[in-house]
Amino acid sequence: MLVSMVGIVGLSALAGGCGPVWYMDPTFAERVAAKDRKPLLLYFKSWDSTQHRNMRLEVFGDSAVKAELTDTVNVEIEFGWFPEHQRKYGVRQPQVCVMCTPDGAKVSDPLFVNPVPTKEKFLDWLKRSKAEAKPPPAG
């Protein structure tokens, strides 16, 4: 069932045009990031939270943020569903974004997104974290 959900998320992203793809399985997303050599963004969220809804609408829905998220592997992790990932990245509460290198190593400071940051603040964190997470060119 989880594989079906991941497939549906991927297909809906393709059908929706150019925009960031969001996975729901962090283990799968880690494999994609390693294979594609892209930074990995982990968003630990609580699906029933007003802060999560506001983050999706006010920040992730912004065109500049969307553009930055197209070259990262993005995963929404329902807080509590993947405790091993919470432990691995030191996440103790929902509404936290963690940027990682393609091999899954955490970079910079995680960003707590409760209250929801301005799109400018998130974009600044995203750009800095992505720059730190990008692997050197293959050579």
Closest by Cα among 136, 84, 91 to 113: 91
pLDDT in tens, 116-137: 999 999 999 999 999 999 987 7
Q: What is the pLDDT of residue 138?
A: 67
Diameter of the chain measured on Cα atoms: 45
CATH number assigned to the domain covering 2-7+20-133: 3.40.30.10
Q: What is the Rg, in whole angstroms, of the alpha carbon atoms belonging to the chain? A: 14
Residue 93 has pLDDT above 60, yes or no: yes
- The pTM of the full predicted model, rounded to 2 decimals, is 0.84
Domain ranges within the chain, ordered by starting residue? 2-7+20-133
pLDDT in tens, 41-89: 999 999 888 888 989 999 999 999 999 999 999 999 999 899 999 999 9
